[in-house]
């Protein structure tokens, strides 16, 4: 992967032993929060600003979005925010230790709407098994999407696994979550009048 030059917010895993000791990365033992696929970084940057008592780490595979987010974060120089440029599935399986994150966000993942492409959706049993391992016991997984079929499909996936428990009553989603920052895409979707769906699960391993 190409080297991306930046300052304090870029996490270069070549500087550390694997699996990552995130207390060494952040130089403290604050609660850890992960966002998978942070896009332009708006959500994660705002969360880091709102919650200085927590450390935030984002993973993004798309280089253009990654560079934009890093540049924006560097303007504020947050001590509790790091960005990692790599494939999320690889990071979860090979980079992070077990039982390290208290909360994970997956905001507006690619819905892969065509039937033949559903196998590419990030919410699948194998990925959730890996995710459960890096989440602490009773850690929270939140998913947001504007795509109703994606939400329905995701709920069906969660029904078949025992290690995540839904925190929302039937039908299993909410349309609004208080004090939750909007991503760039969410702001655009709401202006267009689209419904937004939120899922929340507790890691019940």
CA–CA distance, 54 with 77 (Å, rounded to integer):
15
pLDDT score, position 124: 93
The beta strands (E) that lie in 3-65 are given as 31-36, 54-60
Q: What is the mean pLDDT of residues 26-31?
A: 97
Reported as a single tens digit per residue, the pLDDT across 133-186 is: 999 999 999 999 999 999 999 999 999 999 999 999 999 999 999 999 999 889
- Integer CA distances (angstroms), 194 to 148, 151, 168, in order: 10, 14, 21
Determine contact, residues 134/22, Cβ cutoff 8 Å. Answer: no
pLDDT score, position 36: 97
pLDDT at residue 25 greater than cutoff 90: yes
Task: Establish whether the linkage from the previous residue to 171 is cis, with ω within 30° of 0.
Answer: yes
Q: What is the mean pLDDT of the chain?
A: 92
Determine contact, residues 112/120, Cβ cutoff 8 Å. Answer: yes
Q: What is the largest CA-CA distance in the chain?
A: 46
- Predicted model pTM: 0.93
Q: Which domains does the chain have, with CATH numbers?
A: 13-203 (3.40.50.150)
Q: What is the mean pLDDT of residues 124-138?
A: 96
């Amino acid at each position: 992967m190409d080297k991306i030059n930046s300052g304090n917010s870029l996490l270069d895993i070549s500087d550390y032993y694997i699996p990552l000791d995130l207390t060494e990365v952040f130089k403290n033992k604050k609660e850890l929060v992960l966002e998978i696929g942070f896009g332009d970084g708006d959500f994660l940057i705002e969360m880091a600003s709102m919650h200085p008592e927590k450390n935030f780490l984002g993973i993004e595979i798309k280089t253009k979005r990654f560079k934009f987010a890093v540049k924006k974060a560097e303007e504020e120089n947050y001590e509790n925010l790091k960005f990692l440029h790599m494939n999320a599935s690889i990071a979860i399986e090979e980079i992070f230790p077990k039982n390290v994150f208290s909360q994970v966000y997956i905001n507006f993942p690619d819905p892969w709407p065509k039937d033949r492409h559903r196998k590419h959706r990030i919410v699948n049993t194998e990925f959730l098994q890996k995710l459960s391992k890096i989440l602490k016991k009773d850690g929270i997984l939140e998913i947001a999407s504007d795509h109703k079929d994606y939400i329905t499909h995701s709920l069906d996936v969660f029904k078949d696994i025992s290690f995540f428990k839904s925190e929302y009553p039937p039908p299993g989603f909410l349309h609004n979550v208080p004090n939750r920052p909007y991503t760039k895409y969410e702001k655009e979707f709401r202006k267009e009048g689209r419904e937004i769906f939120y899922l929340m699960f507790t890691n019940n391993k």
